[in-house]
Amino acid sequence: MKNLTSFLKNAIDEHGVPGMAALQFDLKGITAQGVAGVRKVGTEDLITIKDLFHIGSCTKSMTATMIARLVEREKLKWTSTIAEIFPDLKAKIHPDYHAVHLKQLLCHRSGLPEDGKPDPEIFPKVRALKGDLRQQRRELLQIVMRKPPASEPGSKSAYSNFGYAIAGAMAETVVRKRWEELMRELIFQPLRMSAGFGAPMGKYAPWGHTMMNNKRIAIPPGPLADNPPALGPAGTAHCTLTDWMKYASLHLKGASGEKNLLLKPESFAALHADDYNQDYAMGWVTGEREWAKGKILFHNGSNTLWHAMVVLSIPRKTGYLIATNDGSSGAAACESVFKKMIEE
C-alpha cells in the first residue's frame, strides 16, 4: 500500500493547515493512505487514520442515497411534491413552491436562491430553531419558502443547502423518523460505518480551525463549531476516511455496474444522472475529465472550519478522499494533494 504522508506534509507546509488525511481506493479496497499534522494548533496531538473528519456538503449525496432507498421502498417518489408531503403547510408557503418535487430539490432546481453564503435575514432564524429536529425542519421549510422563488422552479440551477434540508424533511415526514435516524438505519449501519453528526468529539476528534486577525484559531466542539442541526441533510456528517470509503466505494461499484449492492442499478443510475445538463446530479458534481479518462463523480464540503473532498473516476475505477481540519486554506491544501495523487 502506497503511503501518502509526504504529499500531506508538503501541503501542510505550503498552506499552513493543522492536519490532513488522504485515502485512495479501488473496487477491491484501499490502495494508498496517509495522515500528517496535528488535531489542534499549538499542540503535538498528532492526526491518526482513526480520526474523525467533518465532511460538510459531501453529506448531500448520502442524503440522496438514503432517499433512494425510500424510493425503492415506495415511501417516496422522485416526483413527490411539497404540497403532497406537507398538505397542512400549503397555506404557510408560497404557492409557487407547491409543485416543487424531490428531484428538483436534490438537483438544486427548486427555485430556492443560492445560499453558499448564509442569508443574513434567514440564517439567524434557522440557527435559533430549538427542540425536536423534525419540527425544526418543518419550520425551516416555512421560513425559506414563505417568499416567492428566486427563479421559476425547474428553470435554473442554484446551489441550495436549504433545499437538501427540505428534502430530508420530506423523508422524515413519510417515515416519521428523524433524518439522523434514517441515515443510521439505511446508510451507516448497512455499510458498517461509525459515522455521526456535528463537530467530531471524543478521543479521535480533531478541532476545526479558521483564521481570525491573521491567526489560525482552533474552535472547540459544540453547537457553534458546525452549521445548525436543522441543516443536517445538507452537510453535518463526520466519519473516518476508512468509513467514508465504505460509502464512496458503494457509489464507485454502483457506477461501475456491480450488482447486489445496497441499491438497485436503476437507483444508482438515477442518482448519478445529469438530467438537467448542469454538471450536477443528486449530491454529485459530474462530468468528463481527461485525467479520469471519462466520467467523474465529485463533491467537496466545508462548514468553514473543515474541508473535505471525494472524487470518483468511473473509467479508472478509482476513488480519492482528502480531508483537513481547516476551513480557511483547506480547499487549496486538499486540491494540491489531489493533484499529486492523480499524477502518480
Cβ neighbours of residue 112 under 8 Å, at least 6 residues apart? 144, 145, 149, 150, 158, 160, 162, 163
Residue 151 confidence (pLDDT): 97
The mean per-residue pLDDT over the stretch 67-91 comes to 98
Phi-psi region of 16 (alpha: psi -120 to 50; beta: other; left: phi over 0): left
Strand pairing report for 2-3 and 29-37: parallel
Domains 2-59+192-343 and 62-180 fall in the same CATH topology: yes
The mean per-residue pLDDT over the stretch 49-65 comes to 98
Q: Where are the alpha helices (DSSP H) in 256-300?
A: 265-272
The mean per-residue pLDDT over the stretch 110-127 comes to 91
Domain boundaries, the chain: 2-59+192-343, 62-180
Tell which wins on pLDDT, 48 or 344: 48
Residue 224 confidence (pLDDT): 87
The mean per-residue pLDDT over the stretch 250-275 comes to 97
| Per-residue pLDDT band at 88 (split at 50, 70, 90) | very high
C-alpha cell, 279: 454538471
- The helix/strand count (H/E) of the chain reads as 13, 12
Cβ neighbours of residue 70 under 8 Å, at least 6 residues apart? 76, 171, 174, 175, 182, 186
- Domain 62-180, what architecture? 3-Layer(aba) Sandwich (3.40)
Distance CA 7, CA 250 (A): 26
Which residue in 5, 56, 50, 117 sits closest to 309, CA to CA?
Answer: 56
Cβ neighbours of residue 38 under 8 Å, at least 6 residues apart? 18, 19, 44, 45, 46, 47, 206
Cβ neighbours of residue 167 under 8 Å, at least 6 residues apart? 63, 64, 67, 102, 105, 106, 233
| Per-residue pLDDT band at 119 (split at 50, 70, 90) | confident
The mean per-residue pLDDT over the stretch 16-40 comes to 98
Q: 7 exposed, middle or buried (CB, 10 Å; 0-12, 13-18, 19+)?
A: buried
Chain position carrying cell 456535528? 198
Q: Evaluate if residue 258 carries a pLDDT over 80.
A: yes
Q: Evaluate if residue 116 carries a pLDDT over 90.
A: no
pLDDT in tens, 271-326: 999 999 999 999 999 999 999 999 999 999 999 999 999 999 999 999 999 999 99
Q: Which amino acid is at 95?
A: P
Question: Which residues pair with residue 30 across a beta bridge?
Answer: 25
The mean per-residue pLDDT over the stretch 19-26 comes to 98
Which residue in 12, 31, 20 sits closest to 313, CA to CA?
Answer: 31
Q: Evaluate if residue 344 carries a pLDDT over 80.
A: no
* Class of the CATH-defined domain 2-59+192-343: alpha beta
Chain position carrying cell 422522485? 78
Distance CA 238, CA 262 (A): 21
pLDDT in tens, 5-22: 999 999 999 999 999 999
Q: What percent of the chain has pLDDT over 70?
A: 100
Residue 223 confidence (pLDDT): 87
pLDDT in tens, 220-249: 999 889 999 999 999 999 999 999 999 999
